[in-house]
Amino acid sequence: MSTAAVLAWGLSPTTANAASAYVHFKNKATGRCLDYRADYGPYATDCNGSGYQTWLINNEAFQLSAMRQNAGDRLCLVARNGAATMKPCLSSDPAALWVLAPTTVEFQLVNNVTKTCLGEGADAKHLVKLVPCSGGNSQQWEMQTT
């Protein structure tokens, strides 16, 4: 990724570098993709390949990375008050950083501050939640490059 592209995204070169990629995250338990709607928050829904399901992330395992959505206001996934939410991307916000922790063939998305995993909830809206990392299928995400 060029320096101009990095700066256009508002990320420092250490946050978005040559290992950054546009990806979709598909939940192992449900087959639904990570998405965001302003009226719901981050949630999982049927995969459709839209910009709201496309995320810019450092796709190297065990590297800290912001997760920036590739649509709308290009917000970042952030841990706030024990919940996953979307906020403007700030390179100074450690709660906006995530680690891709490999499992057998998928990844767990582990928040840098809370050390909890992003998992799909069982509620009707399929909101994603921050939960203790257990390795369960609802916490495992297949990363598909776009």
Read off the pLDDT of each residue in 20-49 and give the average, rounded to a whole number: 94
> 115: closest CA among 74, 56, 64?
64
- Report the distance separating Cα 101 and Cα 61, nearest Å: 6
If one looks up domain 3-145 in CATH, what number appears? 2.80.10.50
Helix then strand then coil, in percent of the chain rounded to 5, is 10, 40, 45
DSSP, res 15: T
Query: Whole-prediction pTM value?
Result: 0.84
Give the model confidence (pLDDT) of 68-92 as tens digits: 999 888 999 999 999 999 999 998 9
Domain locations in the chain as residue ranges:
3-145
Query: Of all residues in the chain, what percent carry a pLDDT higher than 70?
Result: 88
Give the model confidence (pLDDT) of 100-132 as tens digits: 999 887 999 999 999 999 999 877 778 899 999
**pLDDT score of 4 more than 70:** no
Enclosing H/E stretch for 8: helix 3-9
